Amino acid sequence: MNLENRSAARFKQQAASALKDNNLKTALAKAKDGFVLKRLHAVEDLDEFEAIRAEARKIKDHALSHLDFYLEEFERKVKENGGHVHWAQTPEQACALVMDIVGTEAKQVLKGKSMVSEEMGLNAALEAKGHTVVETDLGEYIIQLAHEPPSHIIAPAVHKTRDQISDLFHGEHPKYGLNERLTEVPDLVNEARQVLREKFLNSDVGITGANFLIAETGSTVIVTNEGNGDLSQILPKVHIVTASIEKVVPTLNDTATLLRLLGRSATGQEMSSYTTFSTGPKRANDHDGPEEFHVVLLDNGRSKVLGSEFQDILRCIKCGACLNHCPVYGAIGGHAYGWVYSGPMGSVLTPLIIGLENSYDLPNACSLNGRCAKVCPMSIPLPDLLRQHRFKAFQRGLTDSRTKLGLKAWAYLVTRPKLYSGLTSLAAKALALLGGSRGVLRKAPLASGWTSVRDLPVPQGQTFQQQWKKASE
């Protein structure tokens, strides 16, 4: 897949090329089994999972319906703690704000994982100004070596096989003194750790995302399994948090409730290895911590989603469970979706941010099997929201003309039973004749979408209605 020109509008081509990628197939098959089983066990082991889920939904719904209040509370507390809050409507504004804080002096910038910084295109912007950017999450580090965007919200390099990662290190790390091709996971992790440790100690700014913003305390929260987030924000002099506005929750207690769902839904862990709360810059008696603490809050269209039929998507806590259980994601991976977010949550969110006209296929390329909604810890009705996009697309005339014409003809027929039964009788007979005794057709008129990948079983010859009528006479 050509990742440079990828876009949500080119979904079909990107999906086609992803389906031909055997490494991707191997990597996704391996990841899927792990995620699905681990989550299942973690959820089964927690008797009160459903009760927590109901509580979590209430917490987020409440926060969203008072979003302005909690955001302002959050800002007040951050300031009280000695930090700064910056507001951005667009990714460009957010980028400019971050660049201002980073300044011109800073050479090396550390990054903890942040999907919002992907929305902003932050790495490219920083590099364009001559800063060196170092991703510190192992997955992010790997794809940075490969010059690729993340393909999964919590497992950015999930599309890579171990072999491919070995190759990347082998190709990129000789400059750090690596001479052999490492193939074992612990060796690869250790190699990354050695290289990153040096960078942690020599960086000027640390940028992280946020899983939650707590209005009560003015804290930002991140979860990691590598501890890279801690180091990214404690060691450099300046810590910048990039987060979208819907991340705010009222209290510390609320955060605890949501955290109980997050780890289990994401990786099947009761808790991630590290849960880090950042509350303002280093205080007089603190042993460590940044001297400056900034939070850049990005809207990027989310405030328009509030109060709309799509509001439920803002409850998303970015656990990735819907991606891990989506058979379409499992077939094509995350890059094919063409923008920052992928899988079911991405197919709902992306059209809201970049426009349905630029992402028409995303809500359509779904069999509406409903598995995502069943595992969503925040009970987001994902298939309903995808269908809602389809309604919008139809209203706005974005639906392709062939589909529209087909629907028109179909609607005409199915509300005229006599005409319908006449035509279906003919079709049943014609297809049965075409099929003869073979039982299936390899090709059929107007059915290339079907027959391109499977045979068409032929009808028995007469419709049920014909036979029923005959039997009743």
Which residues would be at the binding site for other proteins (CB under 8 A)? 12, 15-16, 19, 327-328, 331-332, 364-371, 373-374, 387, 389-395, 399, 403, 407-408, 410-411, 413-415, 417, 420-421, 424, 427-428, 437-440, 447, 449-450, 452-460, 462-465, 467-469
Give least dist CB 225 to other proteins, A: 27
What is the smallest separation between the CB atom of 51 and other proteins, expressed in angstroms? 20
Q: Of 158, 409, 192, which Cα lies nearest the Cα of 267?
A: 158
- Residue closer to other proteins by CB (options 277, 464) is 464
Nearest to 349 by CA among 387, 392, 302: 302
- Least separation in angstroms between residue 16's CB and other proteins is 6
Distances from the Cα of 111 to the Cαs of 107, 123, 137, 152, 155, in angstroms? 13, 9, 8, 17, 15
Q: How far is the CB of 267 from other proteins (least distance, A)?
A: 20
Judged by CB, which is closer to other proteins: 202, or 358? 358
Between 267 and 388, whose beta carbon lies closer to other proteins? 388
| CB of residue 390 to other proteins, shortest distance in Å | 3
Residues 177 and 239: beta-carbon distance below 8 Å: no
Of the pair 227, 370, the CB lying nearest other proteins is at: 370
Count CB-CB contacts under 10 A for residue 244.
24
Handedness of CA 347, 353, 354, 358 (dihedral sign): positive
Matching residue, tokens 């009560």: 216
Alpha-carbon dihedral of residues 258, 142, 281, 277, nearest 10 degrees? Answer: 20
Comparison of 169 and 337: residue with beta carbon closer to other proteins: 337
Degrees to nearest 5, angle at CA 414 with 408 and 419: 105
Q: Which is nearer to other proteins, 201 or 407 (CB)?
A: 407
**Residue reference for tokens 């005794």:** 437
Nearer to other proteins, 131 or 371 (CB): 371
Q: Please check whether residue 328 is in contact with residue 400, taking contact to mean a CB–CB distance below 8 angstroms.
A: no
In angstroms, what is the minimal distance from the CB of 35 to other proteins? 14
Closer to other proteins by Cβ: residue 189 or 423: 423
Strand blocks (E) in 148-265? 205-208, 212-214, 219-224, 238-244, 248-249
Look up residue 73 and give its two tokens.
């509370």
Shortest gap between Cβ of 151 and other proteins (angstroms)? Answer: 16
Residue (178 or 413) nearer to other proteins, CB: 413
Residue with smaller CB distance to other proteins, 171 or 417: 417
> What span, in angstroms and rounded, lies between the C-alpha atoms of 246 and 353?
14
Nearest approach, Cβ of residue 100 and other proteins (Å):
43
Across the strands, what pairs with 278? 220
CB of 309 to other proteins, least distance (A): 11
Alpha helices in 365-438 (DSSP H): 371-375, 382-395, 401-414, 417-435
Minimum CB separation of residue 420 from other proteins in Å reads 5
* Token pair for 456: 């068409």
Between residues 32 and 77, which has the closer beta carbon with respect to other proteins?
32
Q: Which is nearer to other proteins, 256 or 440 (CB)?
A: 440
| CB of residue 408 to other proteins, shortest distance in Å | 8
DSSP 436: T
| Smallest separation, CB 305 to other proteins (Å) | 19
Q: Which residues contact 336 (CB under 8 A, 6 or more apart)?
A: 1, 11, 14, 15, 17, 18, 342
The C-alpha torsion from 449 through 454 and 455 to 460, rounded to 10°, is -80
Structure tokens given for 58: 């209430």
Give the separation between CA 78 and CA 72, rounded to whole angstroms.
Answer: 10
Q: What is the dihedral of CA 136, 265, 245, 108, to 10 degrees?
A: 0
